[in-house]
Structure 1
Amino acid sequence: MIGNQAQKLEELVASNSNNKSKKTRFIAITSGKGGVGKSTISSNLAYVLSQSGLNVGIFDADIGLANLDVMFNVKIKKNILHVLKGEATVSDILIPITRNLILIPGESGDEILKYSDMALFERFMEEAQVLDKLDVMIIDTGAGIGEHIQMFLNAADDVIVVTVPDPAAITDAYATIKTIATLREDVSMIMNQVKSQKEADGVFGKIKKVAMANIGSNLNLDLIGKINSDAKVSTSVKQRALFCAEHSSSQPYKDIEAIASKISSKLERNMLVKANESGLSGLFKRLIEHF
């Protein structure tokens, strides 16, 4: 039933792909366990990317624990599930954060397609074209390795695993990487709340050594960046403010900026592609392929 529905939806997406637009790079940010700063990093990274002039969307795909509204200090009334159920339009749920940054409140997992009958999904795909000009979409997934999380990790261009230098967090991060390695060969990491680059390199080195020995040499595991521990970060979170907006001279800001710079260098900017490779409709096209 789901397979047949997915095939019909895929054909529908293809029929809506004549328009040309930018190709959106989808970046999934995940973690082995909660409390390592994943959503804080996602929101601040999206903000810094938007400040560089890129058009950025951030999709809250943390089922049951969506909290990007808290990070951005905004109120959410409806999310993407309401759109699929016909209770709202895409434009209704979009929340502008800055001139180049849009928050997309979302649900993930099987519920996305549960309400996707052909008529509703066709309207959704047409409305979703409002986001086809996005350069990058950050997907803030839930922690762990659940099936609905794997779906987003498989659909993304880049997957970034966040961890902190804590034994339990490192163990969970490795378990996450091991699962992701069954889906793809390339995984990046961010070492959060470290004292220095040396500590970040040391922790990453240990994880990579174990991964190479147990997962295999086909895995391309790299350290995309680190973020220094700083009380300003936790203070900003408590105040529902982005630390990158409040403390632009801090080391964590410089660390996020360095990560953003690496991501920007990967973007195929100004490249025109079919609309089914861009924006929110492009993401759903990829998700549908896994049903």
Structure 2
Amino acid sequence: MINNQANKLKAIVGEQREAQPRAHTKYIAITSGKGGVGKSTISANIANILSQNGFKVALLDADIGLANLDVILNVRINKNILHVLKGECALKDIIIPVNKNLVLIPGESGDEILKYSDQFIFERFFDESSMLDDLDFIIIDTGAGIGGHIQLFLEAADEVIVVTVPDPAAITDAYATIKVTSKVKSSLFMILNMVKNDKEASLIFDKIKKVARQNIGEQLELNLIGKLSEDKLVAKSIKQRTLFTNDAPSSLASMDMKKIVNHLVYKLERKVLKDGVNRSFGSFFKRLIEQF
């Protein structure tokens, strides 16, 4: 089953590259209403599975205030995107290779990242960003909550995934995120983390979807793209600063993650990207800064 999923993903990669010779990057923002629900761990492992299946992927650490993907990936960073926007280094100087098809774009712990718009520096940044034009995906690990800077990333992304756990406070905060984001997005994905089984995930999602339908309306399309079961291996990998999809590829959590990625790619394969949108990383960042 997993081999079939992998073959399908690799086939899709080839089809996309033949059909779209220009920049075709898809921007996927992963967010949550509450901290501590596993959002960054999920972001890193989604990116890892995508890269293992032949997609070229970047992880953008946009968790303003708590940028921590470098810790999860066990890599050392000296400079981040803020240093680039301040003109202190080039974009290529901050990009960290994680594996053959995956790189990390380090973020900044603070909202200063969106305050720099020096025209000369940004034009250079825009030119340098062409080195990322061959990416298939940029996975954006945003902060938790409904802050204004978080919403900027969610609005600019092609797709938004909301992560929550079976905790009343987390579910309430996830719904708040869904409600606010529904003003700029007509469809959202969800992942239920740390659940006992498929039944628990479905019950929680159905309740959230029912409340959303009653209060937001039919105009919002809410989809559950998967769940992650409780698994001690996940906690162990976090402590060891490794990825559970590398440590235990046949574990229940890894199998769940592969299903999530397969479902995500399947959904995106059938969606048409907005016409006329410049899909380069430079243009994406320009839209963010202009909104700030």
Q: Does the alignment reach a TM-score above 0.5? A: yes
Letter in 1 for 2:178: I
Change (3 A) 1:44 1:137: same
1:227-246 matched pairs, under 5 angstroms:
227-246=228-247
Aligned equivalents of 2:188 and 2:109: distance in 1? 21
Letter in 2 for 1:190: I
Aligned equivalents of 2:269 and 2:89: distance in 1? 32
Summarize deviations over 1:231-253 as a string: whole Å, max 9, x none: 00001000000000001001111
Summarize deviations over 1:46-89 as a string: whole Å, max 9, x none: 00000000000010000110110011000111111100101111
Aligned equivalents of 2:118 and 2:290: distance in 1? 16
Change (3 A) 1:268 1:249: closer
| Structure 1: stretches of 5+ with no match in the other structure | 1-19
Aligned equivalents of 2:62 and 2:169: distance in 1? 24
% same residue: 60
Asked if the contact 1:158–1:187 (Cα under 8 Å) also holds between the matched residues in 2, the reply is: yes
Change (3 A) 1:100 1:191: same
Q: Does 1:140 align with 2:141?
A: yes
Q: Aligned residue for 1:67?
A: 68
Asked if the contact 1:27–1:159 (Cα under 8 Å) also holds between the matched residues in 2, the reply is: yes
Q: Aligned residue for 1:181?
A: 182
Summarize deviations over 1:84-121 as a string: whole Å, max 9, x none: 10111100000000010010012488634432211101
Change (3 A) 1:272 1:149: closer
CA RMSD of aligned residues (A): 2.2
Q: Does 1:49 align with 2:50?
A: yes
Asked if the contact 2:126–2:283 (Cα under 8 Å) also holds between the matched residues in 1, the reply is: no
Q: Aligned residue for 2:201?
A: 200
Letter in 2 for 1:46: A
Aligned equivalents of 1:70 and 1:55: distance in 2? 22
Aligned equivalents of 2:267 and 2:288: distance in 1? 22
Cα shift at 1:260: 1.0
Change (3 A) 1:108 1:25: farther
Give aligned pairs, total: 271
Q: Does 1:154 align with 2:155?
A: yes
Aligned equivalents of 1:110 and 1:191: distance in 2? 28
Aligned equivalents of 2:277 and 2:133: distance in 1? 9
Cα shift at 1:185: 1.5
Letter in 1 for 2:207: K
Asked if the contact 1:79–1:105 (Cα under 8 Å) also holds between the matched residues in 2, the reply is: yes
Cα shift at 1:263: 2.4
Asked if the contact 1:23–1:268 (Cα under 8 Å) also holds between the matched residues in 2, the reply is: no
Q: Does 1:85 align with 2:86?
A: yes
Aligned equivalents of 2:52 and 2:257: distance in 1? 12
Aligned equivalents of 1:37 and 1:150: distance in 2? 19
Aligned equivalents of 2:251 and 2:230: distance in 1? 11
| Structure 2: stretches of 5+ with no match in the other structure | 1-20
Aligned equivalents of 1:273 and 1:108: distance in 2? 31
Asked if the contact 1:84–1:121 (Cα under 8 Å) also holds between the matched residues in 2, the reply is: yes
Letter in 2 for 1:137: I
Change (3 A) 1:212 1:268: closer
Aligned equivalents of 1:275 and 1:125: distance in 2? 18
Q: Aligned residue for 1:14?
A: none
Change (3 A) 1:108 1:222: farther
Letter in 2 for 1:79: N
SS in 2 for 1:129: helix
Q: Does 1:114 align with 2:115?
A: yes
Summarize deviations over 1:189-244 as a string: whole Å, max 9, x none: 00000011111000000111111111111111110110111000001000000000
- Return the structure number with greater relative CO, CA threshold 8 A, min gap 6: 1
Q: Aligned residue for 2:41?
A: 40
Aligned equivalents of 1:60 and 1:161: distance in 2? 16
Asked if the contact 1:29–1:161 (Cα under 8 Å) also holds between the matched residues in 2, the reply is: yes
Q: Does 1:21 align with 2:19?
A: no
Letter in 2 for 1:148: H
SS in 1 for 2:283: helix
Moved more, 141-150 or 258-267: 258-267
Q: TM-score, normalised by structure 2?
A: 0.87
Q: Aligned residue for 1:99?
A: 100
Summarize deviations over 1:14-45 as a string: whole Å, max 9, x none: xxxxxx62310000000000000000000001
Letter in 1 for 2:162: V
Aligned equivalents of 1:158 and 1:272: distance in 2? 10
SS in 1 for 2:76: coil
SS in 2 for 1:252: helix
